[in-house]
Amino acid sequence: MRRRNIEAGLQQTNPQPPRTKEATPTIFHDLAGLLTHEDLDRARDRWRVARARWGGGRWKVGGGARLLWLLVGPGVLVFLGENDAPSMLTYSATGARYGIGFFLPFAVATFFAGFVVQEMTVRLGAVTHRGHAELIFDRFGKFWGFFSMGDLVLGNFLTLVTEFIGIRAGLGFFGIRPGIAVGASLVIVLGAITTGRYWTWERITLALAAFNGLFIPAALLSHPAWPEVGRALATWSPLPRGNHAEIITLILATIGATVTPWMLFFQQSAVVDKGMQPRDIGMGRVDTILGAALASICGIAAMLATVPLFRHGMGSGQYQAAEFAQALEPWIGHTGATLFALGIFEAGIVAAITISTSSAYAFGEVFRTGHSLNRPLRDAWPFYLTLLGSAGAAAALVLIPRFPLEYVVLTVNVIAVLAMPPALAFLLLLVNDRELMGEHANGTWANLGGVAITALLICAGIGYAIATVFPGLLGG
Amino acid sequence: MKPDERATSPTGAHESLAARAQTPDMKDPAVVLSLLEADQVVAAKREPFGRRKLSPGMQALLWGLRVYVAAMLVIVLISILRAV
Distance of CA A259 to the CA centre of its chain: 9
Which residues lie below 8 Å from residue A98, measured CB to CB, with a gap of 6+? A240, A250, A310
CB A306 within 8 A of CB A219: no
Q: What is the dihedral of CA A422, A425, A427, A429, to 10 degrees?
A: -140
DSSP string, A128-150: H---HHHHHHHHHHHHHHHHHHH
DSSP string, A38-104: HHHHHHHHHHHHHHHHHTTTSPPTT--HHHHHHH-SHHHHHHHHHS-HHHHHHHHHHHHHH-SSTHH
The per-residue pLDDT string of chain A (476 residues; one tens digit each, 9 = 90 and over) reads 444 444 444 444 343 333 333 333 455 555 667 888 899 999 999 999 998 887 655 555 555 888 999 999 999 999 999 999 889 988 998 999 899 999 999 999 999 999 999 999 999 999 999 999 999 999 999 999 999 998 899 889 989 998 998 899 889 899 999 999 999 999 998 888 888 899 999 999 999 999 999 999 999 999 999 999 999 999 999 999 888 888 888 898 899 888 999 999 999 999 999 999 999 999 999 999 999 999 999 999 999 999 999 988 776 555 455 578 888 999 999 999 999 999 999 999 999 999 999 999 999 999 988 889 999 888 889 999 999 999 999 999 888 887 766 667 767 888 888 899 999 999 999 999 999 999 999 999 999 999 999 999 999 999 989 988 887 776 65
**Would the CB atoms of B40 and A2 count as touching at under 8 Å?**
no
**Would the CB atoms of A50 and B15 count as touching at under 8 Å?**
yes
Q: Which CA distances in Å does A259 have to A63, A79, A233, A352, A418? A: 29, 9, 20, 17, 11
**Would the CB atoms of A17 and B34 count as touching at under 8 Å?**
yes
Query: Rounded distance, CA A36 to CA A377, Å?
Result: 14
**Would the CB atoms of A36 and B78 count as touching at under 8 Å?**
no
Query: Rounded distance, CA A292 to CA A111, Å?
Result: 6
Query: Rounded distance, CA B29 to CA A158, Å?
Result: 44
Query: Rounded distance, CA A181 to CA A205, Å?
Result: 18
Query: Rounded distance, CA A202 to CA A276, Å?
Result: 14
| Nearest of A377, A342, A82 to residue A201 by alpha carbon | A377
CB A349 within 8 A of CB A167: yes
The 3-state DSSP class for residue B35 equals helix
Distance from CA of A345 to the nearest CA of B (A): 26
Q: How many C-beta atoms lie closer than 10 Å to residue A410's C-beta?
A: 22
**Would the CB atoms of A144 and B38 count as touching at under 8 Å?**
no
**Would the CB atoms of B37 and A7 count as touching at under 8 Å?**
yes
Q: Which CA distances in Å does A435 have to A301, A424, A439? A: 43, 19, 10
- The length of chain A is 476
**Would the CB atoms of B19 and A54 count as touching at under 8 Å?**
yes
| Nearest of A469, A172, A179 to residue A318 by alpha carbon | A172
* Cis omega (within 30 of 0) for bond into A471: no
ipTM: 0.83
CB A149 within 8 A of CB A133: yes
CB A394 within 8 A of CB B55: no
Exposed e or buried b per residue across A434-468, where buried means at least 16 C-beta atoms within 10 angstroms of its C-beta:
eebbeebbbeeebeebbeebbebbbebbebbbbbb
**Would the CB atoms of A279 and B52 count as touching at under 8 Å?**
no
Which residues lie below 8 Å from residue A381, measured CB to CB, with a gap of 6+? none
Residues in chain B with CB shorter than 8 Å from the CB of A10 are 33, 38
In single-letter form, the type of residue at position A386 comes to T
Question: Given B13, B54, B80, which is nearest A411 (Cβ)?
Answer: B80
| Nearest of A86, A163, A88 to residue A349 by alpha carbon | A163
More confident residue, A269 or B16: A269
Query: Rounded distance, CA A76 to CA A407, Å?
Result: 29
CB A281 within 8 A of CB A75: no
Query: Rounded distance, CA A397 to CA A164, Å?
Result: 9
Question: Given B13, B65, B78, which is nearest A468 (Cβ)?
Answer: B78
Residues in chain A with CB shorter than 8 Å from the CB of B61 are 425
Query: Rounded distance, CA A470 to CA A462, Å?
Result: 12
Rounded to 5°, angle at Cα A233 from A227 and A239: 100
Nearest chain B residue to A129, by CA: B40
What's residue B25's pLDDT?
Answer: 81
**Would the CB atoms of A39 and B32 count as touching at under 8 Å?**
yes
Question: Given B21, B35, B75, which is nearest A469 (Cβ)?
Answer: B75
A131, burial (CB in 10 Å: exposed 0-12, middle 13-18, buried 19+): buried
Distance from CA of A137 to the nearest CA of B (A): 8
| Nearest of A146, A131, A81 to residue A370 by alpha carbon | A131
Query: Rounded distance, CA B63 to CA B54, Å?
Result: 12
Choose from B42, B45, B53, B63 for mutation: most chain A CBs within 10 A. B42
Distance from CA of B59 to the nearest CA of A (A): 10
Distance from CA of B43 to the nearest CA of A (A): 6
Question: Given A32, A134, A465, which is nearest B29 (Cβ)?
Answer: A32
pLDDT tens digits for B49-63? 889 989 999 999 999
**Would the CB atoms of A28 and B35 count as touching at under 8 Å?**
no
CB A298 within 8 A of CB A76: no
Q: Which CA distances in Å does A194 have to A90, A130, A391? A: 33, 23, 15
Instruction: Give a three-class secondary structure readout of A409-456.
Output: HHHHHHHHHHCHHHHHHHHHHHHCCHHHHHHHCCCHHHHHHHHHHHHH
Choose from B62, B63, B74, B82 for mutation: most chain A CBs within 10 A. B62
**Would the CB atoms of B29 and A130 count as touching at under 8 Å?**
no
